[in-house]
Amino acid sequence: MTPGTLYVVATPLGNLGDLSPRAAELLRSVPVVAAEDTRRTRNLLSHLGASPRLTSYHGHSDARRLEALLEILQEGRDVALVSDAGTPLVSDPGAELVAAVRAAGVRVVPVPGPSAVAAVLSAAGLPADRYLFLGFIPRKGAERRRLLARAATEEWTSVFFEAPGRLGSLLADLAAEVGLEREAVVAREVTKLHEEFRAGSLGELLAHFGDAEVRGEVTVAVRGTGQPPEPPDRSEQAGVLATALLAEGHSRKETVRMVVEALDLPRNEAYRLVMALP
């Protein structure tokens, strides 16, 4: 039996007119649609007059749901994967499913269309020939600080997604890490009735949005430095790595070899550094 095809289908961010004719035709014809939120997708399918079997597939779906979808495909039926809005897998669930489907030898076909990242960058007025997409960053902790620090030194524009109730916190943390004067754009409700693009310095945006009651989907783009980041200090990296290797019980000879291989340091330099450690 010839297996079906998994179609990864981009759906509108808000304006239903943005759904491509190809995507609309596909959603009317596939027997199964796997959706992040079946309630939201049901509205879209109703608008199209489509009536496939609708099943949920989201970030908390267990392995049994993945296996059930894989079984459907192996039985020869096609499946369309959609997220709540925009392009699936871009800060949305689905990567594990796509990887498993590919590993099983089943065809995966993208049906491109709306993307919040592309839409915002196209209208933000910030350099977008290259960019760093950071999506939804953690609410707190070391990983949040690491990603904010990455945006501070990034040569290219950085793009974040954020929940409306946490926009003020993101802008405050960005301003503290990047600086109040760095140019940025906040985009809200893109393609919807109350679409808003507000550009300015992070200080100005924080003053506007900091205490405001914000609604709708939010994307934040921050201008990069325009300069390549300073190369890391390999000697400092080597010292940290060598100390850790020695603590793990490696001999100094083994540590020298591993530092040379990991950091491409000259052997003499690695030897002097390792031998100088206590």
How many residues make up the chain in this entry? 278
| 219 closest CA partner among 244, 177, 248, 188 | 188
The CATH number for 139's domain is: 3.30.950.10
Strand partners, 197: 187
pLDDT in tens, 34-63: 999 999 999 999 999 999 999 999 988 989
CA–CA separation, 25 and 140 (whole Å): 43
Whether 18 has a pLDDT exceeding 90, the answer reads yes
With cut-offs at 50, 70 and 90, classify the pLDDT of residue 232: low
- Residue 265 belongs to some domain of the structure: yes
pLDDT in tens, 24-33: 999 999 999 9
Q: Which of 222, 251, 266 is at the close of a domain?
A: 222
pTM, full prediction: 0.81
Residue 98 CA, distance from chain mean position? 16
CA–CA separation, 218 and 164 (whole Å): 6
CB 124 within 8 A of CB 160: no
- Asked whether residue 12 falls in the same domain as residue 108, the answer is yes
| 17 closest CA partner among 88, 100, 114 | 114
The CATH number for 97's domain is: 3.40.1010.10
- Asked whether residue 174 falls in the same domain as residue 137, the answer is yes
pLDDT in tens, 151-172: 999 999 999 999 999 999 999 9
- Asked whether residue 22 falls in the same domain as residue 88, the answer is yes
Total of domains in the chain: 3
- Phi, psi (deg, nearest 5) at residue 76: 100, 5
CB 96 within 8 A of CB 66: yes
CB 74 within 8 A of CB 3: yes
- Residue 228 belongs to some domain of the structure: no
240-267: average pLDDT: 88
Whether 235 has a pLDDT exceeding 90, the answer reads no
Summary mean pLDDT of the chain: 94
Q: What is the pLDDT of residue 57?
A: 95
Q: Which of 58, 87, 114 is at the close of a domain?
A: 114
Task: Quote the tokens at residue 215.
Answer: 């609604």
170 burial class (0-12, 13-18, 19+ CB within 10 angstroms)?
A: buried
DSSP per residue, 99-145:
HHHHHTT-EEEEE----HHHHHHHHH-S--SSEEEEES--SSSHHHH
- Residue 227 belongs to some domain of the structure: no
| 78 closest CA partner among 113, 38, 109, 43 | 109
Query: Which helix H or strand E contains 22, and what residues bound it?
Result: helix 21-29
- Residue 78 belongs to some domain of the structure: yes
- Asked whether residue 45 falls in the same domain as residue 64, the answer is yes
For 204, the domain range is: 117-222
